[in-house]
Each structure stands twice: as structure tokens, then as C-alpha cells.
A and B are shown apart, each in its own frame.
Chain A
Amino acid sequence: MSSLFLSKKLFGRRSAKFAMLACLSAQMAVWPVVSYGEIGKEPNTLQANQVAIRVTGRVVDEKGVPMPGVGVKVKGSPISTVTNQDGKFTIEVPDEKVVLVFSFIGYLTKDRTVGTDRNIEVTLLENVSQLNEVVAVGYGTVARRDLTGSVGSVSMEDLQKAPVRSFDEALAGRVAGVQVSSDTGQPGSAINIIIRGNNSLTQDNSPLYIIDGFPLENPNNNIINPEEIESIEVLKDASSTAIYGARGANGVIIITTKRGKVGAPKINYNGSYGIQQVIREMELFSPYEFVRYQLERDATNSQQSYLSDGRTLEDYRNVTGVNWQDQLFNTRPMHNHNLSISGGTDQTRYFVSGSYVDQKGIITNSGYSRYQGRFNLDQYINKNFKVGINVNYSNLQRNGTVPSDGTMSETGLMFSVWGYRPVTGKSIVDLEDDPIDNDLDLVNDSRFNPLFSAENELRRNTTNSLRADGYAEYNILKNLKLRVTGGLDRNSTKNEVFNNSLTRSGSPFTQSGKSNGVNGSVTLSERSTYVNENTLTYNKTFNKNHRFTALAGATFQGSNIMVNGAAAEKLPNENLGLAGLDEGIPVSIRASESEYTLASFLGRVNYNYKSKYLLTASFRTDGSSKFASGNKWGYFPSAGVAWTISEEKFLKNVSWLSNAKFRLSHGITGNNRVSDFAYLSVISLPADIGYSFGNGQVNAAIPSSLGNRNLKWETTRQTDLGLDLGFFKQRLSVEVDLYRKNTYDLLLQARLPNSLGFNSSIKNIGKVQNEGLEFTVNSVNLSRSSKLSWTTNFNIAFNRNKVLELSENQTSFATFMNWDGNYRNLPLYIAQLNQPMAMYYGYIWEGNYQYTDFDQSGTAYTLKNNVATNGNDRATIRPGDIKYRDVNGDGVVDANDRVVIGNPNPDFIGGLSNNFAYGGFDLNVFLQFSVGSEIYNANRLVFEGMGRPQQNMFATYANRWTPENQNNEYYRTNGWGPYAYSSRVIEDGSFLRLKTVQLGYSLPAKMLSKYKIKALRVYAAAQNLYTWTKYSGFDPEVSSMYSALTPSFDYSVYPRARTITFGLNLNL
């Protein structure tokens, strides 16, 4: 008996989802699988007076793997059973004419007449239409057919083909409307995921993650081994996300990890080894061009440096200079090993896995490694009571200097890589072996040997993460289930910085080194988040056609963080490394602690009439400690309706149309991404602030930030109109969504007039709108029945972002980038009303001044009176100088001539995935694209002209203006005008990337069975294989100082790597 009731469980490939299926199991009644409500019942047996035929059989999938849990039902009769863990079944049927219906979620249902066979072998084909696929939604699951909202599913099979460390690296282009971009190419660099555009101007726009049911706002996605992910769903519209209330406005990503399945233990090993190499190096001046430029730039000093001892410029023609990029960028390995064992019996299922990833970065001494293990267990205590746990532990380590760190252009690593001289004028000087270039003006120049920097700067971030959660499910009544979960997520991070005497910051030769000496810091932070969720699910079908599901729940979540750190300088004994920090002079001690709590009550009702008319209504109320009493509670309702028009009689017989559904949803969600006590003003006594009375230090208390007792949730109101179409028995399916999101009462770090004594305060002010259109197309071009199969998935999304309202009195506000001292006070981005929240702002570049702009008298050129200056004194402007448009026509280019000069936001983004299979071969080709965004290539501000003495330039600048080459693109030597942001270096960031390619070969099963191997597949995989782009920098996917207000800025980033790996996948 006991084995029987459990064999009815919904085991199978998607078992992890099935665990969540419980609460909606009644919906499954339409499928002839056995619902939880029927657990424990005897199989329907025949009446005693009938003569029964006993039929046995086996159900397998396309690959011949037995399928447990398949529903077997006699058509038109209540007789049914399910297959056991070997895929076998036994059923008694009344006669041979009987038709058996085999069904399994995600597979095409198969009918089979019993006939004379008494032992039947049935093969079920996977239902590629995904219509019947179960997708995870908030606090439950639902068949895609029954969705009222907009939920995108990531094809994990495709995603896992990418040779990457974490899933988010491979997420770009997979789901329509999900914009994924990494700041730089550095292993571990931040990855920004934006769903349907940015809502918030100054606050975090990243989505809420639900990882195995655990809601987390900013999880470290590196702690999850992508191999272990069963499914990823992206909830986009308000009907789907409103169940997450105050945290749902940025969209929700639901990640479900694999769990054990009933069956003999399965051992799976997947390992790969590969290489990473830099995609692109920047072309720089040759020694000849370098010296030529130096001579033009500063003849007197350069002649001394380079043309002494009778040398001429021509002598540099054949000199081989130092190629700093070649020395710094190396081909580096990446290892990946995963081993998992899973299996289970009727009562107990388990999954144990371990993995190791070691990714060395292409820059010396950088990289990322992960040791990770997971264990999960599901256990039935009795037929109505089930418990489970899931524990993941990860140890992450990120190493290496971050090239884009720093607030001076010269402290970025790439400045030294590109800017270091290829040659010196002296043959004896060996630039590579010296930490500094002694010919530089060391007071004003921070260039430092980049090889030394990369090798010696210790930047190490170590994370230990433990995430454990457990659940208990109890069927209180036949249709009523209680689920209680508890979870704990604990991240301990240690951030270590050490600068020895061979680094810029600690070198006795540099200005900062003289001041700091050998220095370092250690910062420890520990964040713990816990959650308790309690839900009741009620399922009932009335009169067969009216399905009704209700969910009610109460959840509690809290988090606290503690940060402690110390920094010291002038360490006397650098050999001790950070262990000798205590011998130095303390610079700062860090200590902070904070916490928040969130209590929520939620409810949802689903009504489904024959899968034809669908209605979902949800409501959530969130109470947060982040707001003052009176504003703690926020209320977030939503509703969605869907009409499957293809189920109507008049369309039911249209053979080419297999599905047509309209969806409409509307709802309100929130965003609570403010610091834990933002509503309070702060009086602080910072250690570095004080006064010295009589040469003795006293502490000073200052009001350091201004609170706002009226602070409340940021609110987003979203309407989504969707259309799902399926043709030719779902061989072609199309999903279209049109949405509008209005976000208001923005949580805005609003600037204040400084006369208030504070420069900003968090306020609920401003309005932002996102509108968009998303298409997803899935097609089976060549079906699997043919020898060659081919499927395609394509998605494309258009989002338009618009600021509708800013802080009171503001029609725009500018954002300044802190990447260089000379540009720090110039605005680069502007948010204006009725425009996207980030637009480039500056001068319109008009090439160079040409001779025609001047009056000539002898050899002197005077700018004509009707020609505007470029901001420099009129008298100093020469032919070949950079020229900007005098927008207001006052003859002088100044702050009043700044206008919007570019748009960093893409027109559309998307992806195209193709899968081919032929015999044992399979090929996945995934292309990602982004079109219409513009990049601010600030590298070109520094490496195309001007620059410091002895600084190398990009090769493009060799084509600069000279009297012989009256070029309009590159200004003459020393003709760079005043410091300004202009349209000159704005570049088209559109790209089409051959992002992932994987070619695999599965050895024939027959051959393997001799060695007791279930499956063995070898493959070659590549990531970032080729990119089609006009962008002149390393890579168009770049955003070195990312925020919603400052996207697509490129300065001194870590170059992106191309990865090529070879691996094997072994199943025992």
C-alpha cells in the first residue's frame, strides 16, 4: 500500500517544480495524472462481475529512459494507475478495445489501443510547445496554459550549455524584456539585471530573487552552481509580481534548484577544461608614432629625451616597443567540475552534489574560484505530511585588482597599460623591470608599471555562504494544504586589500606611497537573512469545469548586517602581509550594524473555467521596519484575466491554430530599496571629524544625514496586455506582451539646496514611465521525428523609458562621473522631463577648426569674428583645434551650449537560440543582440590627443590634423581645447554577439551499456565567440560605473574574454 500511494507521486524530470505543484494540484486534474487529493486511494478497480484483462507495460522517453509517474488511464473510465520507478505499470482493463491514455506533464499525451498486446512499450515525446509546462509563480506553480500574467521561462537546457561560472552571466538574451549586462569583463564583476526598464532613479532597480522559495533582494548569484538549477522563471507583469508586494516592482526571478527523483541512484559528472583569451586589444602608437607625437607635443624636452646622441625620428621606425597589453593579458585556464548523486525511494528523495570552479582571469593574478556543495532531502512522514530540507554551502574567492577602480584617470590600471611608453630615449632603461618610469613628473603623474600593479596589489574578496531552508507540508483536508517554510541565508565576506612597496599606493617612489607607505585593510561583513512563510492552499473543482484555487499566507522576514574593518598605513614589515596590519598606523576602523524586518500577509484567488476563461486576483500587504510608524504598511493588489479564444467553439476546429489566448493584467507593486533607517536623521560622531583645542583632539557630533518621517513605498502601477498564439499543433508559438509601467512616489535621493545644511534627502518624489513591447517566438523547424531536428527560440524586446516628474522645481538633473579630476565637475548625464532617465549631455562636436575659420595675416591666424570659440580664449585658438557647436550663438562655447548629445539606452534587445541534432550530435548556437544604445568611450578622451608628458596614445590619433592632413576627425597635437564632454567619443554600442556555441556528441547507448554507463557526452563549448560591432573599445557590453543614471560609460575596464572549453558529461 505504502509503495503504491507514493508511486503515484509526480516524479520525473521536473520533480523540483512538482514539489511546488502541490498547492495547485487541483488544476492538474484536467490532466489524467493523480492529484494529491487522491493520494492513498486504491486504484480504481473493476467491478467484480467483469472479466479483467491484465496488461503490463513500460513507458520510456525518446532516449529510452524509463519514466516513472506517468499517468495511465482507461479512456472514458475511472480506471487509472501510474508507472513505478522503473517506468512499469500494471492495469486491468475490461476488454481489448479499450484505449489507454498515457500522460505526463511536459510530454505529449499518447493514446494506445490495448489490442492483443499484453505487454505494451510506450514512448512519450516531450511537448516542445511548453504550453503544458508547469511554471513556477509566486507561492505556487501553474501550467503555462493557465497563466494570466507575463512569465518568461529560461530554457535551462540551453543556458547550461554556456561555459560560465554563474547563471546570470548566461542569462542575457534568454528572456524577452530582461536586460542583463555585466559592468566589465572581470570575473566576478557586477551583473545588472533590469526587467522592463529602470523604475527608480537613485535606488536599486535589480529584481527580487526567489531562490527555492526564499525571497532575497541582492543575493550573490555566484553561490549557486548553474548546473544545479532546475528552472528559472522571470515574472514580469504586475499580476505575477504583486504577490511579492513591496519588493515586486522590479520584477521577480524565481530560481528552483534540482531535487532528488525516485529511482536508482544516479551519478552525474560534468567536467570541462578550457581557456580564456582576450577578445580585443587596443591598437596603440608604434615607437615611431609615439616619438613623433612627443616631438610635436613638447619639442624642447622631447628632443632632449629622444633625439640626443644624434638620433633622428627615423631611427625609431624599426624599434620594437614594449607591448604592455601582450604582457598583461594572457590566455588563462578555466576548470569546472560537478559531481552529483541523486535518487530516492517512495518516501525519501535525496540530491547531493559538489562542484569546483576555478576561473583564472586574463589579467595576471585575477580570477574567481568556487567550492560548493548542496544537499537536499524530501521525506514523507506519512501520506499527508511531507518535510524537506535544502542546504547549500559555497566558498567563493575573487582575486585581482579592479582596473576601473579609482577617481583619477591615471590610477585606472588601463591608463598605465595604454599610457606607458613603448620606448624610452635611452637604451639602458628597462621600463618593464622598474616600478615607475623615472622620466615622469612623479608629483603630477600617477602612472605605475601595470605589470607590477597587477602582480602585487592584493584585492581579495572571500565569501562563505550558507543557505539552508526547510519546509513541512501537511494536507489538513483533502483540498486544503498547509505549507510552512523556514530559511536562513548567511553570507560572510572578507575583503582584503594590501599594497606592498611594489604597488602605486605603497611604493616609496610615488607621491601616495610617500604619504601612505605599505598599507592595507581588512573588512568583514556578515549578513544574515531569515524567512518564515506560512501558506494555506485550497483547491476545489465545482461541477467539473469551475476550478478554483485560493492561497492565503503570512510571511516574516528579517535581515541583519554587521560590518567590521580596519585599515592601517606605514606597515613596517611588509613581508607579514595583512597579518602585520597591527604594526602599522591605524587609519580607520569600521563598524556598523543594521537590521530590518518585514511582515506580510498575502492572498490569491485563481478561477479557471475549462482553461478558457481565467481569472487571477492577488493581494499583499507588507509591513516594513524601514518606514516610520504610520507609513509602515503598503497594500498591493493585482488582477489578471485571460481568454483562451482558441478553446471557443468557433475556433476549436481551425486546425492550424492550436492556441490563441488574450491576457490582460493590472496591478500595483512596490519598491522598498532604501537603507534600513532612511526615515531617521542621523547624528554621528565620525572618527575623522573633530577639532583640536590646545592640540588635543575632541570628538565632534554632526547631523550627517537628513531623514524623512513621511517616507513610504515607491509604487509601480503596471498594465500588461498579452497575446499567446500557437500554430500547427504548437510547432510555432508566439508570445506578445505590451506593457506600461508608471512608477510614482519614487524613493529618490533628492538633492536639496545646500542652504538647508544637507545636500540631499530621501523623498517620495518623481515619476517614471516604462512602456514596451516584447515578442517571443518558439518554433520547431524540423521535428524530432526526422533524423535532423532543428528548433529555434527568438525573443526581442523594446522598452522606452521616460521621466515624468522630478524633485520639486527640477526639470532636469545632471549626474557627474568621478573618474578623473579634470572632468569631475562636468555633467555627463542628464535626466530631463519626458526623456529617458539617462541621456548624455555636453557639447556637440563639430570636428576641427580649419583654415577657412581664420583670418590670416602673415603666419598668424586669428579666428574670424563670426566663428565661435571652443571655450578657450579666442586668441589662443589655432587651425586644427577641436570645435564645438555654439548652440546659443553667443560666440563662445560654454555651459550654456550643453545639450543632449546621445542616448545610452538600447532601442531593442534580444536573443536567438538554435538547437540542431543529428544522430548523436547536438549543436546549440545562441546569439545575443542589443541595438541602438550609445556608449561614452571616455578612454578616447585620454588616449586620443592631449594626455600627459610621455603618454602613449591610441593608434587612431596618428591620423590627427596637421597642415598637410587637414583631418576633421582628430584635432591637432595640443589642440584639445578645454576639458569637455562632447559627442566626439559617443559611439554606437549596437552589437550582435555569437554568445554561446556548444557542439556535443553523445556516444551510442548500446555501446555504453556494456560499461554500465547510462550516458556519455563529450562537447566543446564557447562563450563570447564573436561579436559584430562598430564599437572601437574592448567590448560594447560595458558600464564601468553603472547605475540607472550612468549606464554605458567606458573607462579603463577589464577586457572581456572569449572562453573555449572542452568537457564531458557522464551518467552512471
Chain B
Amino acid sequence: MKKKILIMLAFICIAFCSCKKYLETTPKDFSSPEQFYSTASELENALNGVYHSLTVDGTFGRNLVIELANETDELFYKRTTLTVNPMLFNYDASNTVVAASWRALYDGVNRANYLLANIDKPVMDEKARKVIKGEALFLRSFLYFQLVSYWGDVPLMLTPTVDGNQVNVPRTPSAQVYAQILKDLTEAKDLVNPITAYTNNGKVSKTAVQAMLARVCLKMAGYPLKNTAKYVEARAWADSVITSGLHSLNPDYKQIFINHSADKYDLKECIWEVEFFGNNTGSVLLGARFSNQLAIRNTNADAGYGYAILGATPTLFNLYKQGDARRDWNIATYGFVSNNSTDTVAKTDIYSRDAGKWRRQYETIRPLDVNWSSTNLPVLRYADVLLMFAEADNEIEGRPSQRAIDYVNLVRRRGYGKTLNGTGAVSEGVKSITMRTGGTLYQNTTADPLTVEIVGGGGTGAKATATLTGNVVTAINVTSSGYGYSTAPEVRIRNTRGSGATATALLTPASQADLLPAQFASATAFRTLIQEERSRELCYEGHRRNDLIRWEKYLPALVDAGDYLEANAPLAIRSNQGVSAYSRASQKHLLLPIPSADIVLNKSLTQNLGW
């Protein structure tokens, strides 16, 4: 009997001893941070994770282009239903859009922090490691630049969060956040590859870092830091991009945006883009929502869903002068016949024209999805760099320098279609056509239509119609000026019955796009010009709100835009919630509220003024 007990005891003993091992289980379907970051490809994947944080709804997939970037004097909310929406200035600190963006940006920061903390862990090619580190530093700085621009002082997290125990993290003064951004960007500049190493512009390159440095410095020089010394650095960084020789303007303004939709790359014009791809069918979810939110209103799946949740303001429309081709690209001249149609119809008045910068018809992946599109978002364009140079230079010199004027003209000429003939050669359009002789026996019937052909002159695309008085042609009206003309084209007025009418085409003047002397007569005039030019060139790309704030023109611009609509828009447009929303904007809207959830959970946080 004793023996039996001993056996029992032995059994229990063995059970005890084997327990420790028995309780050591390891996860089978995921890695913990301790296991991860151990190879070069794991670092690459972790870096991709940081890039991914730029594509979500909270960041450039949507909110930082649509909800939080608007509304401004470029775009207004075009819906009659009142919803709680940052674009309507009727939200508070519990707003979910604000919270989603705050969270998405900090998610990205944390991803970058995890990567940077483990950057030295794997044994790998040192060059490749440097590149990854540089990109991670850039991305973290870029995320902080968004945070500090939208919220002001924010908690500055530079190490990964390893547990949830330290929750009370105070806000770091903006100046310190900016200092960190500059430090990291400066370090990143020498680590990343030049853009020539890539065939796409989604990767961060050296000129992207330099251009970003220029933007950060310009922001620091403006409101609220007003550290005007930074203009010098801003100009220097912009200059380093320009003198790198790696970038130039795309001769055709609209092609830039067609490329974004059509998944094509132009590494000269677009220095850095947030890349989106596919139509979110199946398991690949890499699409963007910002473009569908803006796109021309339609619910036809084949033509592409477009919500036109925001529409171009007459303020923006009026900024464009005659001949500026950017207007009719950015503010589409057509809509769809019905809300569910593939057929387009011309739209003429500004109030029925939707934003047209990115057009769904150019997307290459079919079927077009209702909500998601493959359109890339340009974050840094060469045109922006040229304008940043001019702006900083004007502030430093106290007057417009020739180089600054030249850069602005460069941007404008492209906007007016002057560069379509290629670098150096000027492309003109047909400005007008004057009758020389009216001819006889002309008629305009279905059987014998009166046509005007514009041929030769090196260009293409000019169109015109003839006016008859009796049987005599009395006028030719140019309906499209075309482009690429270097000499006046021949005008052929054709009719079977009539004959003898002749006319002469007059080309637009080469200097049409260029600044008028008054526009660079003083630093102030030039400053105003650049502020307008940025809107004309860069509208909807997510810059306007932050630009206006740094120029201290945010609230006045909103008031002007709202007043104009109230005074001029038809009733149906005025009933859109975006119109009355302008008057709700106030000083507190210069910063977003710190999300209330964070205020509750982080005792050290303080709220922004007015919220």
C-alpha cells in the first residue's frame, strides 16, 4: 500500500516539475516585436507600415485633403443636409473625424518609432539600412508636421510605446516640435536615395526631403511662430531642389493630374506623392477616397461615382484670368446629363460646375469603384517649390528679385499652356480672328453647313464658329484657343455655295501669362500675387488652409468667400450648408481641438484655446 502512495507522490512530483514547460506556449499566428525587425525585409515591411499610415481615411486617404483641409476660399461644402462636420465649423472636441486623424497620425508616428528603435537590429547591408532610416525619419517628421500644423503643441513621442502604463504625456511646445522636425529632416536628407534611384515618386528621395524642409521653414517663418529668420533656410532648401536639376515642370498642367489617376509617374514635376492603387475589389485595399469625394457628381458606376461633396468657390473661379487654362481644368466645364449617366453635358455657370482636378475617366482599373480610386495625391510638386522659392526670396529681399519673378512666370506660363511646345519654345493659342472679306452667297444649313477650319501655324486645337449676316460672313468667334501655335494659322471658311470670305488669326501674345509690372511693383504686391498664384496652381491639394493660416489670412478669406456666395449665388446654392458655415469660423478654428478622448485619458493634456 505504501508503495502505491509513493508511486502517486512520484506522479504528482513529475507533474509539478513538468509544469513550467507545459505553460510555455508561443504564439502561432503572429510575431511579437521582440521576434520581429530581425531581417532587412522585415525592416522594409515595417517601413511600408509607416507609409501605409499616409493612406488611411484619417490622413491623405481622405481627412487631410477633405474634412480637415476644408472648407476654405477654394472649396465649399455643397450639401443641404446639416451634419456635424469640421467643414461646417459646427463640431467639437468629441468629433470623430478629428479623433480619427489624430489617431492615424500618431499610429504612423508609433510605427516609425518602432522601426527606428529596431533599425540596428538586423545584420544587413548598411547602405540599405541608412535608406530605411532616412525614410522613417522623414515620414515621422512629416506626420509631426501635420500634427503641429493642425493642433499646435502636441505630445512629442520619439520612442515606441511598449506598454500602456505611461499615459500622462504632456504637450511639447510647437517650437520644440518644429525643431525636432528640422533635426530629423536634416538627418534624413543625407540618408535617403536621390529620386534617380526610383521609377516612381512614392518613395521619399533627397529632393523630397529638401522640398519638405523648405515647406517646414516657410511655415515656421509664418504664423504662429513668425520666426522670420527661417525664410533664409526656406529659400536655401527650395534652391537646392531647383539647382539639383532633377526636376522640372510638366509642360501640360492637366497631364499632371491625369497621370495621378492613370497610375503614371512624372518624377520631374511630382517630387513626392502618396500612392494609391486599385479599386479595393478583393483583398487589396490600397485605394483613396479623396478623389471620389471631390469628383464630378454622378452615381453611374461606369462613368465613376463622384460625390462632389465640395464645390469650387466663385472666389477661386475669379482668381483666374483670361487664358489661364488651369481654371477650366480645376473647375470642370461639364457635368453628367443626369445623376446616373455616362453622358456628359456642358456646364457654364460657376455654380453648377464641379471640381475637376482629378477625373475618374482617366483611371485605368475597371470596374471603377463607388468609393475608392487609384488616384495618387501629390504632396510635393516642383511648381510648389518654385513658388516657395519666390515667396521666401521676396520676404528676404524685401522686393521681388528677377529670379523670383522668373520662377512665378515659369509656373504661370505652364498654367496658360505656353509650354506645350516643349522647353524653350513658346506655345501660343489663337486669341481672335478678324474678318478681312465677308464673301458672298454663304449659308448655314444642315445640307451645307458653314465651317471654320484653323490649320497650320504649328499648333492644334483652335476652334471657331462663323457668324452670318444675310449671306455674308461678318464675324468669326474663337471657341477654343488651342495651343502650340508659333505662327498665325490659316483660317478656312468653307461652304459649298458661298465663297470669298477670308480672315486672319491673331495669336495670343507671348507675354500673356507673365506677370504684369504692377504685380511685382512691390514686395506687398508680389506677396499677394504669390498667395493667389498658389491657389490657382495648387488648389484642392490640401495646402490652402495651412497657407492661409501662416499668412494670417484664414478668417478674412473665409469671410470674403462666404460674403461673395451670399451676395451672388442663386438661392439653391445658398441653401447649401457650406455657405452659412463660413460665418461660423472663428479664431479657435485656427487649431483643431485635442480629441476629448485623449484629454480624458491623458491627465497632462490641455485643450486648445476656445475649445
Measured CB to CB, the residues of A under 8 A from B are: 443, 476-477, 480, 482, 511, 514-515, 534, 536, 554, 556, 569-570, 585-589, 591-599, 601, 623-625, 629, 632, 676-677, 680-685, 687-695, 697-703, 706-710, 750-761, 763, 807-810, 813, 824-825, 894-895
The distance in angstroms between the C-alpha atoms of A761 and B110, with both chains bound, is 15
Check if B424 is an interface residue, CB within 8 A of chain A.
no
User: From residue 366 to 424 of chain B, which have CB atoms closer than 8 A to chain A?
Assistant: 369-371, 374
From A586, A760, A809, give the contact of B168 (CB < 8 A): A809
By the criterion CB–CB under 8 Å, are B45 and A515 in contact? no
Check if B94 is an interface residue, CB within 8 A of chain A.
yes
Check if B598 is an interface residue, CB within 8 A of chain A.
yes
From B29, B92, B263, B595, give the contact of A754 (CB < 8 A): B595
The distance in angstroms between the C-alpha atoms of A688 and B48, with both chains bound, is 13
By the criterion CB–CB under 8 Å, are A690 and B52 in contact? yes
By the criterion CB–CB under 8 Å, are A700 and B51 in contact? yes
Residues of B within 8 A of A825 (CB): 84, 94-96
Among all A-B residue pairs, the 10 with the closest Cβ atoms: A757-B110, A761-B164, A692-B277, A694-B200, A753-B602, A701-B45, A700-B48, A754-B103, A700-B49, A702-B49
From A514, A599, A677, A809, give the contact of B601 (CB < 8 A): A809
Residues of A within 8 A of B285 (CB): 688-689
By the criterion CB–CB under 8 Å, are B202 and A688 in contact? no
From A514, A693, A752, A895, give the contact of B370 (CB < 8 A): A514
From A570, A591, A703, A763, give the contact of B111 (CB < 8 A): A703
By the criterion CB–CB under 8 Å, are B286 and A690 in contact? yes
Check if B154 is an interface residue, CB within 8 A of chain A.
yes
User: From residue 576 to 611 of chain B, which have CB atoms closer than 8 A to chain A?
Assistant: 595, 597-598, 600-603, 605
Residues of A within 8 A of B102 (CB): 754-755
Interface string of B246-290 (1 = CB under 8 A from A): 000000000000000001010000000001111001111110000
The distance in angstroms between the C-alpha atoms of A755 and B601, with both chains bound, is 10
Rounded to whole Å, the gap between the CB of B109 and the closest CB of chain A is 6
By the criterion CB–CB under 8 Å, are A761 and B275 in contact? no
By the criterion CB–CB under 8 Å, are B276 and A692 in contact? yes
The distance in angstroms between the C-alpha atoms of A875 and B25, with both chains bound, is 64
Check if B167 is an interface residue, CB within 8 A of chain A.
yes
Residues of B within 8 A of A685 (CB): 45
Given contacts A625-B23, A710-B165, 4 further A-B contacts (CB under 8 A): A591-B29, A694-B198, A695-B200, A754-B598
Chain A to chain B contacts (Cβ below 8 Å), 25 pairs:
A443-B299, A515-B370, A536-B8, A591-B29, A593-B29, A594-B27, A599-B15, A683-B37, A684-B31, A690-B48, A691-B52, A694-B198, A695-B200, A695-B263, A698-B44, A699-B45, A700-B49, A701-B45, A703-B110, A706-B161, A754-B598, A757-B107, A757-B111, A758-B164, A809-B167
By the criterion CB–CB under 8 Å, are B163 and A588 in contact? no
Residue of B nearest to A629 (CB): B24
By the criterion CB–CB under 8 Å, are B161 and A809 in contact? no
From B19, B114, B200, give the contact of A703 (CB < 8 A): B114
Residues of B within 8 A of A695 (CB): 200, 263, 275, 277, 374
Residue of A nearest to B44 (CB): A698
By the criterion CB–CB under 8 Å, are A597 and B23 in contact? yes
Residues of A within 8 A of B276 (CB): 692
User: From residue 114 to 158 of chain B, which have CB atoms closer than 8 A to chain A?
Assistant: 114, 154-155, 157
By the criterion CB–CB under 8 Å, are B46 and A693 in contact? no
Rounded to whole Å, the gap between the CB of A821 and the closest CB of chain B is 10
Check if B160 is an interface residue, CB within 8 A of chain A.
yes
Check if B500 is an interface residue, CB within 8 A of chain A.
no
Rounded to whole Å, the gap between the CB of B533 and the closest CB of chain A is 32
Residues of A within 8 A of B94 (CB): 825, 895
By the criterion CB–CB under 8 Å, are B8 and A482 in contact? yes
By the criterion CB–CB under 8 Å, are B164 and A763 in contact? yes
Check if B1 is an interface residue, CB within 8 A of chain A.
yes
Rounded to whole Å, the gap between the CB of A551 and the closest CB of chain B is 13
From A534, A703, A757, give the contact of B11 (CB < 8 A): A534
Check if B564 is an interface residue, CB within 8 A of chain A.
no
Residues of B within 8 A of A570 (CB): 281
Residue of A nearest to B100 (CB): A754
Check if B12 is an interface residue, CB within 8 A of chain A.
yes
Residue of A nearest to B19 (CB): A599
Rounded to whole Å, the gap between the CB of B154 and the closest CB of chain A is 7
Rounded to whole Å, the gap between the CB of B378 and the closest CB of chain A is 15
Residues of A within 8 A of B199 (CB): 694
The distance in angstroms between the C-alpha atoms of A736 and B390, with both chains bound, is 86
The distance in angstroms between the C-alpha atoms of A689 and B16, with both chains bound, is 45
Residues of A within 8 A of B282 (CB): 569, 585-587
Interface string of B475-496 (1 = CB under 8 A from A): 0000000000000000000000
Residues of A within 8 A of B169 (CB): 753, 755-756
By the criterion CB–CB under 8 Å, are B160 and A703 in contact? yes
Check if B455 is an interface residue, CB within 8 A of chain A.
no
Residue of A nearest to B201 (CB): A694
Rounded to whole Å, the gap between the CB of B139 and the closest CB of chain A is 11
Check if B210 is an interface residue, CB within 8 A of chain A.
no
Interface residues on B, range: 35 or more
Check if B203 is an interface residue, CB within 8 A of chain A.
yes
Rounded to whole Å, the gap between the CB of A336 and the closest CB of chain B is 41
By the criterion CB–CB under 8 Å, are A701 and B202 in contact? no
Residues of B within 8 A of A593 (CB): 28-29
The distance in angstroms between the C-alpha atoms of A556 and B278, with both chains bound, is 51
By the criterion CB–CB under 8 Å, are A759 and B200 in contact? no
A752 touching B283 in the complex, CB below 8 Å, given contacts A601-B16, A691-B52: no
By the criterion CB–CB under 8 Å, are B106 and A708 in contact? no
By the criterion CB–CB under 8 Å, are A683 and B31 in contact? yes
Residues of A within 8 A of B12 (CB): 534, 554
By the criterion CB–CB under 8 Å, are A625 and B24 in contact? yes
User: From residue 166 to 189 of chain B, which have CB atoms closer than 8 A to chain A?
Assistant: 167-169
The distance in angstroms between the C-alpha atoms of A200 and B99, with both chains bound, is 27
Rounded to whole Å, the gap between the CB of B373 and the closest CB of chain A is 13
Check if B448 is an interface residue, CB within 8 A of chain A.
no
Check if B36 is an interface residue, CB within 8 A of chain A.
yes
From B161, B278, B374, B605, give the contact of A757 (CB < 8 A): B161
Check if B193 is an interface residue, CB within 8 A of chain A.
no
Residues of B within 8 A of A682 (CB): 27, 30-32
Rounded to whole Å, the gap between the CB of A736 and the closest CB of chain B is 40
The distance in angstroms between the C-alpha atoms of A764 and B77, with both chains bound, is 46
Residue of B nearest to A596 (CB): B25
Residue of A nearest to B48 (CB): A700
The distance in angstroms between the C-alpha atoms of A703 and B53, with both chains bound, is 12
From B22, B46, B597, B605, give the contact of A751 (CB < 8 A): B597
Residues of A within 8 A of B99 (CB): 754
Of B5, B265, B371, most buried by chain A (CB within 10 Å of CB) is B5
Check if B301 is an interface residue, CB within 8 A of chain A.
yes
By the criterion CB–CB under 8 Å, are A595 and B22 in contact? no
By the criterion CB–CB under 8 Å, are B32 and A683 in contact? yes
The distance in angstroms between the C-alpha atoms of A482 and B15, with both chains bound, is 16
From B1, B27, B49, B109, give the contact of A677 (CB < 8 A): B27
By the criterion CB–CB under 8 Å, are B25 and A706 in contact? no
A680 touching B164 in the complex, CB below 8 Å, given contacts A587-B282, A700-B49, A701-B48: no
By the criterion CB–CB under 8 Å, are A756 and B167 in contact? yes
Rounded to whole Å, the gap between the CB of A591 and the closest CB of chain B is 7
The distance in angstroms between the C-alpha atoms of A808 and B165, with both chains bound, is 9
The distance in angstroms between the C-alpha atoms of A652 and B165, with both chains bound, is 61
Residue of A nearest to B200 (CB): A694
Residues of B within 8 A of A680 (CB): 27, 32
Residues of B within 8 A of A623 (CB): 19, 22-23
By the criterion CB–CB under 8 Å, are A757 and B263 in contact? no
By the criterion CB–CB under 8 Å, are A756 and B265 in contact? no
Rounded to whole Å, the gap between the CB of A30 and the closest CB of chain B is 27
The distance in angstroms between the C-alpha atoms of A489 and B95, with both chains bound, is 47
Rounded to whole Å, the gap between the CB of A484 and the closest CB of chain B is 10
Check if B113 is an interface residue, CB within 8 A of chain A.
yes
By the criterion CB–CB under 8 Å, are A807 and B601 in contact? yes
Check if B516 is an interface residue, CB within 8 A of chain A.
no
By the criterion CB–CB under 8 Å, are B22 and A597 in contact? yes
By the criterion CB–CB under 8 Å, are B25 and A625 in contact? yes
The distance in angstroms between the C-alpha atoms of A623 and B22, with both chains bound, is 9
